[in-house]
Structure 1
Amino acid sequence: MIAAAPGASIPVGRRVRVQVPATSANLGPGFDTLGLALNVHDELEVEATAGTAVRVEVEGVGADEVPTDETNLVARSLLHVLEAVGVEAPGLVLRARNSIPHGRGMGSSGAAIVSGVLAAQGLLEGLVELADADVLRLATELEGHPDNVAPAIFGGLTIAWVDETGPRHKQLAVHRGVSLLVAVPEATMSTKLARSLQPEAVPHADAVFNLSRSALLVAALTQSPELLLDATEDRLHQTYRASAMPETSALVGALRAAGHAAVVSGAGPSVLVLAGDPAARLEAAAIVESRDEPWRALLLAVDIRGGTVEPIPPQAAA
């Protein structure tokens, strides 16, 4: 990443539009490594204005809950990028239309971070060139790990890891036979709480178990959907977190007992089903809807585009 030339500034009136998908991380055995982009999106428009004030307008999910100033996560992420490249922040107006549920294990915080980073990338056009690797690194700095931000940026199925150069990723195409279902409860779950339930060490046999299932899951998602049930077995995180979300654990158990590849979506409490065909997905949805607890069954697809940013031409400005 190259820093901006001294004195470089974002032109007042420059506007960009950003769209970022929801994500589901872990996918069972791929803890902190595997992630999948979903076709539910948050949308954002950002305008550079005179002065230094930051104003955030939110429609949809979180409209009555999220901050509307520079402490908003999207705004903080955008400002983080500008500081990193040495460009003074202009005034900013952010208009967000949110559809990704908050606190449900569908990557809402990762999507907010990626939205801010991509908005900064668009505003910096002609001043600083942010490559894909820069976007991933900056988003990971803010999120702490790349498993959610990688699919939000690049789309599809992603494998994310970190080496001495920073976060890296590999994007893969999901087999067209795979159908997705996300069961969303009314309850929320704190990612911080979920992570606190993880032990610092796990048995050697469990580590080997998950290594085999993670490798198998990549094959199942890209080539052999008939292996999805075996490939989504996990011994590293879901059992330890079950006590904090018993309804989620019970639903995962009921779905798997019926032959469906169900896992906790991210940190939960939503449940992701990786169905081998549309008929199996409908069967899973019927099980979700038959539960005593209220769940929303979302029939989704894999988002293959990932996050996008585009300029808004001056003539399109309202």
Structure 2
Amino acid sequence: MTGYIEPMVGRYVHVEIDGETHRIYFEENGAGIPLVCLHTAGSDGRQWRHLLADDEFTKKFRILAFDMPWHGKSNPPASWNGEEYRLTTARYTQTVRAFCKALDLEKPVVMGCSIGGRIVLNLAIDHAAEFRALIGLEAADFQAPWYDTSWLHRPDVHGGEICAALVSGLIAPQSPEVSRNETLWAYMQSGPGVFKGDLYFYRVDGDLRGRVEGIDTSACPLYLLTGEYDFSCTPEDTKRTASAIAGASVTIMEHLGHFPMSENPEQFRRYIAPVLGQILKQSIPSKQGEHV
């Protein structure tokens, strides 16, 4: 549609992480319950553009999607001098909490995909009281690596093309071609070594086996949704993880893979709408002071 301006607005916020100020880019739209969206490894907040532009969701939710440092429009910190980037559980957790604090978000919902789904589980373990609800897409306590990260940052290999090639098979065959290409394009634009550094968290530092049993879903509801075509975080991985968490909600999404919000936004909407509806319902007190 020529001349159409999409409703989300992009800005930068200065966030203190580990004692250093970071300039973080984020986009937002809507009003109501804060909903913070976390992108996948090696990508950026563009993955959430369809959710950000959803007229119905943004009537009740203030949807925010930020680019992690080193990703998208968020640069590395000023002190960075070229050393290898490695994402850790502590750093990732601190980044999410610092972003929410910097924007003064009151009891936000956090929804993350892939590495974002893994950190959602860590938030549920250690910081559940800070959040209204947590949503993990393609989330599990651990997945055995099926890839060789040594290919992801080499001078004789095109980094962007190899990153996109690696994840291309994780997209469901039913996904529209235009959405598939858009999802992969973000991977082709990733900074050198960033995808590899994110996978350090995913395959080494972020192993949560033996810890998810402590999640209290009465303190913060936890929703886990995984695409049936995801062979990185398989439905079995998610079900195994959920079996150790009393009260966790589990949904296996048909015709979706590892990037549901970007690879097939219309199909993803069918699954996330009931979840957001339930969170909204639980957040509105009745006239008797009870939750409806």
Same fold, TM exceeding 0.5?
A: no
The structure in which a higher percent of residues are strand is: 1
TM-score by length of 1: 0.26
Higher RCO (Cα < 8 Å, 6 or more apart): 1
Structure label with greater radius of gyration: 1
